[in-house]
Amino acid sequence: MARVSPSQSGVFQTESDLRVERFTESVSFDRRLYAVDISGSIAHAQMLADVGVLTPDEASQIETTLLAIKAEIDAGEFEFQQALEDVHMNIEKQLVDRLGDVGRKLHTGRSRNDQIATDTRLWVRDAIDAIDARLKNLQCAFVGRCDADAETVLPAYTHLQRAQPVLAPHYWLAYVEKLERDRARLADCRRRVNVCSLGTAALAGTTLPIDRHNVALKLGFADVARNSLDVSSDRDYLLEFAFCLTLIAEHLSTWADEWVLWSTVEFNFIKLPQQFCTGSSIMPQKINPDVCELVRGKTARVIGNLQSLLVLVKGLPLAYNRDLQEDKEPLFDSFDTVSACLELAAPIVAGAELKVDSIRSRLDRGFLDATTLMEHLIKLGTPQRTAHHQIGALVKQAMEQNCRLADLPLETFQALNPSLDESVYEVLGVDKAIAAFQSYGSTAPGEVKKQVSYWKEQLNLD
């Protein structure tokens, strides 16, 4: 973070070049840390009073003044100055201007290095909670569709080729599962974020009798960082959060890409809510899925931010280096981007309409029941590889005759496998294929119903 400027330190004999001032400032972006910076400073002042470094009255004056400064920033009445470099110095300068020497005592026993580490941990902790809430909202939107879409069958794809039929709720719950893993990763990340850095000072600790556990308790941290050198250099928690955000963005991009495809005339699976679409400046008929396209597109910047952070910390010697000032802009941008995408994804998911008639009219294309028929042969004793080859041959004949498997005469089936009889038609067709599924976690109607009930309970939707 920012170092003390020449005008504030007795060791310098000249002022900084103004170009250095412009080049090194961070207050243009780190000002958004003001609330957590003030919270950390209040806890620090209270601890200093608890251990006798400050008097109770001095700590009270500092807390009251910091809260007044926060209220001014909240109201947009506080003027941040670039010359003061960062959010910390801007707040501390106002504190000193208002309290004099009492304000100058606040920085006792800490450094900008542990101060910014604490600020970013507090901020990331809150950011994780905010993203988790939005992920849950999106999960609720998917689960909220399941009852209305319970009877709808969709073609599922591999290699973007029709593969097997699945129930629509099974499709929605696939995304719920992905989002749940995102939430689990965030919860695990939060555990490592929730460690107090304050009080390790610049890199070696302090000779003053501070109580770091006292500060941690006041700020709601679950643990206290054990090594001062590590604290000064550590940005693992930022990289981990950035990775979690990147994977969330990847999941959102997959969903958005599918729905862009599904909304085309060629697929004609889904109608997106028009309030989340835009028109064309020249083609009056267009209803473009721009929000979904931008969700997909913005994933690139989130991935790029993660790469920037990974490269930023590569090979930095212990402990603190000014390079680490550059960690905040990509972090903030990834959070803002993913948060905005999640905010829009939930109402799009909730408000979209499946074009059931269109989907149903083409379900018999692509031989979605072929795998079910193969497994029917396996149940009759045919080895899997043999059954796979025989059904492939049947599909070839159906393709040549431009018909469904169910339209082939019994003689055709028996010519390839004499064990087949009229019961073969009981597993042919999309609906019968769906009904034939049995395994746990499959698209079997009973299994899907259980999973919908499970997620309703998990998300408190009952």
Q: Name the active-site residue from 39, 41, 88, 159.
A: 159
**Whole-number Å distance between alpha carbons of 413 and 422:** 10
Distance of CA 43 to the CA centre of its chain: 30
**Whole-number Å distance between alpha carbons of 302 and 385:** 44
C-beta separation of 380 from 419 below 8 A: yes
Number of Cβ within a 10 Å radius of residue 48: 26
Going by C-beta distance under 8 Å and a sequence separation of 6 or more, which residues neighbour residue 412?
394, 397
Structure tokens at 386: 């043999």
**Whole-number Å distance between alpha carbons of 207 and 201:** 10
Give me the residues paired with residue 158 across strands.
161
Q: What share of the chain is helix, strand, coil (3-state, %, to 5)?
A: 65, 5, 30
- Signed CA dihedral, 148, 150, 153, 155: sign only: positive
Structure tokens at 95: 């504190």
Q: Judge whether 389 counts as a catalytic residue.
A: no
Q: Name the active-site residue from 7, 28, 280, 419.
A: 280
Q: At what angle do helices 290-312 and 236-262 cross, to 10 degrees?
A: 160
> Judging by beta carbons within 10 Å of its beta carbon (0-12, 13-18, 19+), is residue 432 exposed, middle or buried?
middle
Selection from 123, 186, 132 nearest residue 332 by Cα: 123
C-beta separation of 185 from 95 below 8 A: no
Q: Judge whether 280 counts as a catalytic residue.
A: yes
Q: Catalytic residue positions?
A: 159, 280
